[in-house]
Structure 1
Amino acid sequence: MARWKRSGRATDEDHLVHCADFMRFYLVKACDPVEAIQHYSHRVRGRGSKKEELKHVPENIVEILISELPPRWTLLGPIQMAAEELMDNPTKSFLKLGSNNEERKKALEYRKDCRRDWTPNCSVAINRAL
């Protein structure tokens, strides 16, 4: 995945286009044979697709794919743990979030909010890539 480069066809702020491009690149590398992915679709919010014969990508696979998208990389770290747990047993990434526990807690909550808000956009990127 280190060889992926941002496309010049979109601005730096157009994260959805970059996510869809990255997902296409990722799926080509991850699928063997590559044509196998052409039998799948990701239906956002349960809506039907144009090609009903396509199989639906399972949600656990969608979650894995979302975790691989570039905007998510900036949100990696202790996001799954509660701030109180991290205050008791701090990780390196938690300590980098601020100079004291209050700053770290606010930064952690902000990252959790960003992750929650960004997830629907990631689903759209997967849908476009397929």
Structure 2
Amino acid sequence: MLPTRDSNGREFSIINCVEQWFLHAEEPFVEGLDLRSAVDRWYPNPVHTPSVQAVSLFRLLLQKMTDPPTAIQKYVFRVSGKAGRDKTLKPLPMNVEAVLIDFALDMLGYGWTEIRNPAGVELENSRFFTSLGKTFEERNAELRILIEQREDWKMLINKALQLALRDIRNYEYGEVNGVPQWIKNKRQKKDGELRSDGDRDLNNN
């Protein structure tokens, strides 16, 4: 069962991040893009599910990740790894995929090394691990829960990235009153394909 905000109190926020996040990828991706700064004005709508919030987060990031901006529309992320019907689309580079997913998990509070790679940490000397309980047994049990939660969230986030890229491919990019920006196409305006999240990520600079 995928996590919900109410079940474990997790919410997307850069306040939760324990790392700095920069994009390092070849053209057309924007080298050195600061992901935290890119979303510092984005806030998840509290009435929406975590999956909708994740799609909104990724749409905002994807709009800013390539130069020219429309280059992102040539990419696809396939969760199953299977080839899609549209052979003109290129798979999202693995390093780009990884940084987006790990950044989103860090925004949820799952960026601690103790959660990502507990085998690589001396838990007895970890302040984070110590904060999880009074005894080693309590801390270890809580850490196991966090590790499982992270894996559940990762499945949700993978799907959200796939949906966000699909949405971006259906956007149009042009000028409105002389200002270059992303524009919903007529079909999206009509049927609400953006899943009614208020579109607060569109052109949020």
Q: TM-score range by the shorter chain?
A: 0.7 to 0.9
Is 2:155 the counterpart of 1:117?
no
Task: Give the partner amino acid of 2:41.
Answer: R
Task: Give the partner amino acid of 1:42.
Answer: F
Q: In structure 2, what is the equivalent of residue 82 of structure 1?
A: 119
Q: In structure 2, what is the equivalent of residue 58 of structure 1?
A: 93
- TM-score, normalised to structure 2, is 0.54
Task: Give the partner amino acid of 1:81.
Answer: P
Q: CA deviation at 1:115?
A: 1.4
Q: In structure 1, what is the equivalent of residue 41 of structure 2?
A: 3
Q: CA deviation at 1:44?
A: 1.6
Q: Name the one with the larger helix percent.
A: 1
Q: How does 1:1-130 map to 2 (within 5 A)?
A: 1-7=39-45, 11-12=47-48, 14-69=49-104, 73-77=108-112, 78-79=114-115, 80-82=117-119, 85-87=122-124, 89-90=125-126, 92-130=127-165
SS in 1 for 2:41: coil
Task: Give the partner amino acid of 1:120.
Answer: M
Superposed CA offset, 1:63-104 (max 9, x none): 2111122675222212112397212x21x3222222222221
Residues 1:25 and 1:62: Cα distance change in structure 2 (over 3 Å): same
Larger Rg: 2
Q: Distance in 2 between matches of 1:117 and 1:40?
A: 25
- TM-score, normalised to structure 1, is 0.81
Q: Tell me which of the two structures has the higher relative contact order, counting C-alpha pairs closer than 8 angstroms and 6 or more residues apart.
A: 1
Tell me which moved more, 59-68 or 74-83: 74-83
Identity within the alignment, %? 31
